Structure 1
Amino acid sequence: MKKSILTLLSLFFLSSFSPVLAQDDFYDVNTIQEIKITFEQENWRYVLDSLRFNGEGLLLGSIEINGQKFNDIGVRYRGSRSFQPGNKRNSLYIKLNFIDKEQNYQGLQTVKLSSALRDPSMVREVLGYEIARKYMPAPRANYTKVIVNGEYYGLFVNVEPIDDAFLAQHFGNSKGTFVQCAPNLVEEEPQGCKSDVFGSLQYDNSAKCYLHNFVLLSESGWDDLIELTYVLNQKPDEVSRVLDVDRTLWMLAYNNLLVNLSSYTGRYSENYYLYKDAEGHFVPILYDLNLCFGSYKNTGIGSDLKLKELQEMDPLLHVDNSAKPLISRLLGNEEYKKIYLAHLRTMVNDIFRRGQYAERAQELQNLIRKAFEEDSNRYYSMEDFNVSLTETIGKRSRIPGLQELMGPRTEYLKEHPLLSVVPPEVSDVTVTRRERFSSEKVTDFKIQARIDKFPKNVVLYYRSDPSMPFSKAEMRDDGKHNDGEAEDSIFGAVVKPQNGSNTIEYYILAENAKAVTFDPPRYMYEQHTASLEELNN
């Protein structure tokens, strides 16, 4: 038996946990990319301002990406609230196939560059996405220097687009319903629609109400979205039929832990996509993380949070808030709440308890320091950059340092009554091998594990192929299920090979009265594995 778990800290952060196609180099976090854009217009800033102010038109130009040249590309400024006419710098959207529909760079047809607004550290997005990718589908991100018409425009964050290629990579196809949460914060809601719904997934009165807060990116799917909100709000006991509950709980735990309030958890319930996978479940996908780690401070309840309130933000924020059904309906279910808290505990232990996030943030700053210093259009001074991990920056915006926020927050969560309970302990996970010198081969998977700390329920999740959903079987400690003696803390289950396969991937859920434990903790990306060939050698 083998356990496919990453052990090195560098791999812990740098790995992407999905099959990587031809785009590795462009998102290599250790290499600062270089993009040179050329426009015929000398007043390109004014033209881009005008195009963005009046819609989403593109300015024709040419581009050189790491020395590779492309003609007839389109460029516009990105962002809605972040875009400001006359800014020294704005986020950029680059369409490589603007004219030539086949034109691409390493398989990419669009490039999205973030200006890192309200992030004096310049690490929130790259670090935030690295952490997210350990637990859920999320874009890759790194840094690029951007030169426009021969002048250094600035150091930007290069974020992987959430598009058909991303969906195919993470979900095996891109044919499902695909929706972007994009709350309209300018115009009033259509007549007859609820007010201040934003992207909260409240069930509303008609399809026109959803058009106000969501953009449909697939050819069809409004009915799917409406059904999701109906089931979530009116029949929450059936929500697992239409929603990937586990991946949603990972996202909610991430948003809470990292105080990522420019998200579903914050005022506008924004900055996520929904994709309906092949099993018919919607999966949320995070994006726009430049305001994570407390840079945006409004939960939708009262005024902006002060530093201490950010550090001690309730891990069950919105649990009783019917205006946030993705939180209140899911965490109102005791089983789902235990899983959510287990995910919080896992991320605290993996990333924050021993300060790994701070070490990684410092590594990223060291990588980009020279390029940032040379950027005359940067939002913040070098003095701000140098102390941005440990001190609050700005007299009005008051952007907390990452360590200033997360050090106390980690301690607060470690001591919180909901997270300081003793979860079940899983150890000594084994699969029975063929006995030495025996001619009788092993033909099934007899799985055992030691479970301590008063387990009341133990479940084995297993599959024979990574493309298949997990099946489940109860593990017992009754002396009758390959578990040794009854009540000896050894739990067992027997799994017959499926569909002619001789391999198995599996993980274990153990539950006691107060908490649940998963083994391995990141079970959606790493599982225990075994093969009959291995067991018979």
Structure 2
Amino acid sequence: MAVKQRPPRHPPRATCWTMMTATLLARWNPNMRNPCAGYPLFALLLLGTLPAQDLYDIPTVRSFYITTHQNDWWTRLAANRRTKTDLNVDLTVDNKTYKGVGLRFRGNSSYLATGNSQKKSFNVTLDAFTVGQDLLGYTNLNLSNAYNDPTFTREVVSYELLRRYMPAPKANYIRLYINNVSWGIYINVQQPDKEMMSEWFKGNDGNRYRCDPPQSSGNGRSALQWLGNDLNLYKAAYDLKTENSPTGWLDIRNACDVLNNTATSQLPQALPKVIDVDRALWYFALNSILVNLDSYIGRGNDYYLYHDEEHDQLEMMPWDMNESFGGSNASMSVAQLKVLDIFWQANNTTSRPLLARMLANAAWRTRYVAHYRTLLDEVYDWNWIGSRVTKYQAMIEKDVQADTKKLYPTYMFKGNLTTDYRLNSSFFRTWAPGLKPFVDARRTYLLARSDIKQVTPVLSQLARSPADPTDNQPVWITARVTGATSVTLHTRVTGPFSQVTMFDDGKHGDGAPNDGVYGGRIAGQPSGTKVDYYVGAASTGGLRFLPRNAGHKPEDYRVDWPRGSSPVRLNELLARNNTGIVDEKGQHEDWFELFNSGTKEADLSGHYVTDNLSNSKQWTIPAGTKLQPGKSLIIWADNDAADGPLHANFKLDAGGEELALFAADGRTLLDHEKFGAQEADVSTGRLFDGKRGWVGYPTPSPRMLNAPATCGVRLYTAVEPLTHSVTQTVSGSAKIATTATFQISTAPANSAVAELIGSGGTALPLPEFRLTLLVNPLLAVVVLPTDATGQARFLLPIPDDAALVGARLYVQAIGIQGGGLIASNAAETTFCPK
């Protein structure tokens, strides 16, 4: 007899908050039953992968409120367009107002071709009039008007796809209001500035060029042609964005010389020394498959170059993807664009020399086709592209319908998914191909090509031995390969990759001979060395790599340093010092702090500090430097030895890097900390002096103890403060017999937050939630509703009990936004006597 099951009873939503918190602490205990499954949102939070709350987090659509101070602000913007002069405005985001922000029009075609429309593209500069100001770590914002894209998705989807295979900007959506008038949905595109370079490269000080200055637009002079020895010719063709560079345009001229004037037989050895060849081939393949002709392959411009100083190569990066998927027609019909040859422009040595000379080389041509196959296998089909287009349109559909300033009628928003539309502007007429038929037809054409459908080797089981090599210890790389005529190991420390033949002969760390496992040897490297590697296998049909990304995000390892112990620890650092302490010269310089956690005086003479683990002896602590027990020492990271003996010869990278302390032998690693993007005037330090657990301090504590106050409130946040977007402050008194007020702001409006109350502080990263738990062990959870401005208040009555004096509570808020979790900083409250 069947037993009728009673439907499950679901606990109150507040109880789900408590249970969700317990799950956080349990770190995804697989045996824990989810009693909140009846609440779909909570089930998603418990079982799904949650996005980070970055400024460019795609599921999060923020509202930007711009307030101007001049009645004729529009006229001023138009007058300032050519000179790129900023207008001083206020910007409010997440209920926080930023004063002294710069606003100007951006773009050429997106401005001129839109005529009298107010739906212009804008550039927003956070620090234009307020030094050091940023929005969640970003200073330059590009708000795009979706010119030539009625779907509003081409740019966001294209950049998401591009970032899988090469450095590219992030992009998402924002709602724009100017003087409380809605300007509708905009695409928020990351600026290729120093912040972005820090995300992709070891440093961000290399020369950075916009290869699309107005005077060279469309004539190929920004396409790495040889213009002669006169440096002024390159200055006119390449817009140098790096400030005060002593080497500006020299690297461009040298690369153009090598590219255009080297004999064909010598080019495979010479070109990789100045240009990242694999990166360039990815750039060409991506723009070709996306039919983005407003790029190097089409107009010979509208891209970026960055000089990666670590490997001494120029790196290509994409820009302006709003006309991808055939949006820039180049005088071709939509039917022609769907079957655009993958070698289009490959014979144009005059105005597209990099594309032409690289694809004339058999090995590079084969690699290019291999990258094309990877794109077809992984991303270029309507299942991948269409799922994102559908999702992103659903996020913004109501906003687009309500947008009275948009460039194209509402019916095109969805219609352009399947229908080609003729777009007319003030001086351009072009087609916007229907996305799905365009992608489907192009994929069908590409898969039918004989060079694409060739059978290529199969690679798997990439491994290395030993996994963690020590000083000068050789490393064997192995991979299982079938169907190959040759297998090659690509490896590098700095500069271009070198090649080593791999064998299946039982003599190269590959196990038994002829077992399908190939091995290759990487020579031993000194401690601290980082090694990149990947494997390629060739057959008569073509080439395949493992990882498929090849030179983009290859496998890597770092040769470990011998470890030692010391009572002296790295204790705190500030990588963006705008208003904090000053050095002997009265300058706001970056700094870091050493702390002696021992009981005896520590002599630091001859010890080393470095921000580059490959260079353990980067800066020597001066002779006679001693540190008393329980005391700290400030060292300025300003690369200015003339200012004093305790000024290191490097600067801290606010985009994130590493800092290490080495013993006087220059080999023994005593302490090491890796940190991410930093916020202005927020330091990173240990929660408790000399002990585990690094956090962020909104109020830095140089030369002071990183310890609980004997009475009062101490605020701290995640070691990467930009990942925690909710703000918590404490007002009132921490005295017994009074009430402390915990104020929450910048939380989601008309929602709820959960205040986690604990008896201790921690810094427990929860990568599955993309946040850091700052309170543990947990005592209680209080759920608070937020108002229309995203604020909430929690009142904590403190009993009149002298036994509570010196007791502490730790409080952190957790909320929900965009289908993911967001968090606040934590407040440590030490109860005081009356």
State the TM bucket, normalised to the shorter chain. Answer: 0.7 to 0.9
**Are positions 1:297 and 2:329 aligned together?**
yes
Structure 1 counterpart of 2:305? 274
For 1:384, the aligned partner's letter is M
Match of 1:283 in 2: 315
Q: Counterpart of 2:119 in 1: which secondary structure?
A: coil
Q: CA deviation at 1:87?
A: 2.2
Q: Which residue of 2 aligns with 1:70?
A: 98
- 1:98-129: CA deviation from partner (whole Å, max 9, x where unpaired): 22211211222221111110101100111010
Separation (CA, whole Å) in 1 of partners of 2:538 and 2:107: 44
Which whole-Å CA distance do the structure 2 matches of 1:515 and 1:489 have between them? 19
The 8 Å contact of residues 110 and 145 in structure 2, kept in 1 or not, is answered as: no
Q: What residue number does 1:511 align with?
A: 538
| Counterpart code for 2:80 | L
Counterpart among 295, 309, 330 of residue 358 in structure 2: 330
Per the alignment, in what secondary structure is the counterpart of residue 315 of structure 2? strand
Q: Could you tell me how far 1:530 is from its partner in structure 2?
A: 8.1
Distance 1:185 1:390, change over 3 A: farther
1:408 and 1:15, CA in 2 relative to 1: closer, same or farther beyond 3 A? farther
Q: Name the residue aligned to 1:400.
A: 433
Identity within the alignment, %: 29
The reply to whether residue 391 of structure 1 matches residue 434 of structure 2 is no
Distance 1:402 1:115 in 2: 19
Q: 2:281 is matched with which residue: 249, 256, 276?
A: 249
Give the conservation status (yes or no) of the 8 Å contact 1:63–1:70.
Answer: yes
In structure 1, the partner of 2:503 is 476
Cα offset, 1:223, TM superposition = 1.7
Indicate conservation of the 8 Å contact 2:170/2:190, yes or no: yes
Query: Residues 56 and 449 of structure 1: is their aligned pair in 2 closer, same or farther, counting only changes over 3 Å?
Result: closer
User: For the Cα contact (< 8 Å) 2:366–2:542, is it kept in 1?
Assistant: yes
Aligned-pair CA distance for 1:178: 1.6
Pair 1:390–1:221, CA change in 2 (3 A):
same
| Candidates 383, 396, 404, aligned match of 1:376 | 404
1:119–1:494: structure 2 CA closer, same or farther, 3 Å change rule? same
1:415 equivalent to 2:448? Answer yes
Cα–Cα, structure 1 residues 160 and 186, in superposed 2: closer, same or farther, change >3 Å? closer
User: 2:383 pairs with 331, 343, 355, which one?
Assistant: 355
Note the 1:166-245 alignment, pairs <5 A.
166-184=196-214, 196-205=219-228, 206-218=230-242, 219=245, 220-235=247-262, 236-237=267-268, 238-245=270-277
- Whichever of the two has the greater Rg, that structure is 2
Kept in 2: contact 1:184–1:198 (CA 8 A): no
1:77 and 1:485 map into 2 onto residues whose CA distance is 65
TM-score (norm 1): 0.84
**Cα pair 2:418 2:436 within 8 Å, conserved:** yes
Q: Would the alpha carbon gap of residues 370 and 446 (structure 1) be closer, same or farther in structure 2, given more than 3 Å must change?
A: same
Bigger helix share: 1
2:57 matched to which residue of 1? 28
The runs of 5 or more residues in structure 2 that have no matched partner are: 1-48, 424-428, 468-472, 561-834
2:485 matched residue in structure 1:
456
Q: What is the CA-CA distance between 1:502 and the residue it aligns to? A: 11
User: Following the alignment from structure 1 to structure 2, what is the Cα–Cα distance between the partners of residues 80 and 527?
Assistant: 37
Residue 106 of structure 1: aligned partner:
136
Pairing of 1:15-164 with structure 2 (within 5 A): 24-52=53-81, 54-84=82-112, 86-164=116-194
Q: Residues 165 and 426 from structure 1, CA distance in 2 versus in 1: closer, same or farther, beyond 3 angstroms? A: same
Distance (Å, rounded) in 2 between the aligned partners of 1:383 and 1:448: 55
Question: In the alignment, residue 78 of structure 1 is paired with which amino acid?
Answer: R
Answer yes or no: is the 8 Å Cα contact 1:49–1:86 preserved in 2: no
In structure 2, C-alpha distance between the alignment counterparts of 1:346 and 1:50, rounded to whole Å: 47
Q: Which moved more, 1:241-250 or 1:505-514?
A: 505-514
Letter in 2 for 1:374: A
Contact 1:476 1:491 in 2 (8 A): yes
Change in Cα spacing, 1:504 to 1:217, as seen in structure 2 (3 Å) is: closer
**In the alignment, is the contact (CA less than 8 A) between 1:430 and 1:447 conserved in 2?**
yes
Distance 1:66 1:483, change over 3 A: same
Query: Deviation per CA, 1:147-173, whole angstroms, max 9, x where unpaired?
Result: 001100121000111111111221121
- Offset at 1:365? 0.7
Q: One-letter code of the match for 1:296?
A: S
Cα gap change, 1:174 to 1:293, in 2 (>3 Å): same
How far does residue 525 in structure 1 lie from its aligned partner after superposition?
5.0
Paired AA for residue 62 in structure 1: D
Q: SS of the residue aligned with 2:354? A: helix
**Which amino acid is 1:416 matched to?**
R
Residue in 2 aligned with 1:493? 520
Partner of 1:365: 393
CA contact (8 A) 2:145 2:186 kept: yes
CA–CA distance in 2 between the matches of 1:391 and 1:257? 20
CA distance in 1, matches of 2:123, 2:232: 28
What per-residue deviation string (whole Å, max 9, x for no partner) do you get for residues 405-451 of structure 1? 111101111111111111111134455689xxxxxxxx864443232
The amino acid of 1:481's aligned partner reads H
3-state SS, counterpart of residue 34 of structure 1: strand
Structure 1: where are the runs of 5+ without partners? 1-13, 17-22, 188-194, 299-303, 435-442
Shift of 1:185: 5.1
Contact 2:117-2:405 at 8 Å conserved across structures? no
Per the TM alignment, residue 404 of structure 1 is displaced from its structure 2 partner at its CA by 1.7
Q: Distance in 1 between matches of 2:394 and 2:199?
A: 31
Please give the alpha-carbon distance, in whole angstroms, between the structure 2 residues aligned to 1:487 and 1:44: 74
Between 73-82 and 482-491, the greater mean CA deviation after superposition: 482-491
Which residue pairs with 1:425 in the alignment?
A: 458
8 Å CA contact 1:183, 1:198 repeated in 2: no
Distance 1:404 1:276, change over 3 A: same
Render the CA deviation track for 1:69-93: whole Å, top value 9, x for unaligned.
Answer: 0112221100123213632211001
Specify the SS of the correspondent of 2:317: strand
Aligned to 2:432, what secondary structure does the other structure show?
A: coil
- AA matched with 2:456: P
Q: Is the 8 A contact 2:208 2:305 kept in 1?
A: yes
TM-superposed CA distance for 1:271, in Å, is 1.4
CA displacement at 1:493 relative to structure 2 = 2.5
- Scaled by the length of structure 2, what TM-score is found? 0.55
Cα 1:76–1:531 shift into 2, 3 Å: closer
Higher strand share: 2
* Contact 1:258-1:294 at 8 Å conserved across structures: yes
Residues 509-537 of structure 1 deviation map (CA, whole Å, 9 limit, x = unaligned): 1112341110110244555578999xxxx
Question: Cα 1:486–1:213, aligned 2, differ >3 Å: closer, same or farther?
Answer: same
Partner Cα distance (2:466, 2:117) in 1: 66
Bigger relative contact order (CA 8 A; separation at least 6): 1
Q: 1:446 to 1:282 in 2, by over 3 A?
A: closer
**C-alpha distance in 1, partners of 2:284/2:127?**
35
The amino acid of 2:481's aligned partner reads: I
Distance (Å, rounded) in 2 between the aligned partners of 1:161 and 1:337: 31
Paired with 2:415 and 2:505, the residues of 1 have a C-alpha distance of 58
